[in-house]
Structure 1
Amino acid sequence: MDGNQQVLPLAFAVVDEETYPSWKWFLQQLSRHVIRGRLGMCLISDRHGGLIKAVREGPDFVSPHGVHRYCLRHVCSNFNSGIKNVVLKDLCWQAGSKYQLRKFNRIMEEIKKQDVKAFAYLDQINKEKWTASHDSGWRCGILTTNMSE
């Protein structure tokens, strides 16, 4: 994030396809040329399996060096793909974007009341990865990857 609280693009790449090898290569280049041992980096992304695997293998986005967080828009979109309920999708967004734990818990209880399977889907995702209330400030208020969409 820059001084004006805007997302700062550090790097981008054009690859043939979004795969584990391409993500691994990209993160290696990012580490070598941009991160260069800096601590406190936060990567916000979709939940692409290849990216998750590549992040786990590299040290830069694993605590205590940095963190990997999920884009809330992607979490809600994936949630809605299975649930197909606009009201619950909106509640998912509300839950993920609340900074106060009690508000997050209240919304999650509402989701649970409306659909236990919907609640179970969200509950199995590591809360620090997708919710502002469990993030500990790593996201600096940024919940999505909208700039790159």
Structure 2
Amino acid sequence: MQKILKTTLAAVLVTASAGAAMALPPLEDDPRVVREFFAAAVGDEIRNNCPSISARMFRVVVRVKELESYALKLGYSQDDITAMRKSPEAKEKLKQMRDAYLAKNGVTEGDAQSYCRLGLAEIEKNTLTGYLLRAN
């Protein structure tokens, strides 16, 4: 009887764990994850195109670790996090969002000063993107 109870309990726990894992929405749909990856993508594009702005790498690394911890606490695995970061679909969606934001804010591809203007505005407003950047 005790063996049957242990086996049944184990089966219930495995089923409950699998059900909980399946209930999680895609990580790339989480608003905080989207917001933070978006800010990093915009900042990265600015720093790569404006010679007078660079990344505050310590802040970037800390935010990445905080976001990873957040996702793990929600029940996502390290494999889920890695899969989202490497997903071509998620990367393309983020790129489209980034490019639309840059265009909306007057950035023109090939015009370094337009990237610099936006970067300085982000820094001045202390947005998340601005928090991750430094004017040299």
For normalisation by structure 1, the TM-score amounts to 0.26
Query: Which has more radius of gyration?
Result: 2
Higher relative contact order (Cα pairs below 8 Å, separated by 6+ residues): 2
For normalisation by structure 2, the TM-score amounts to 0.28
- The structure with the largest helix share of the pair is 2
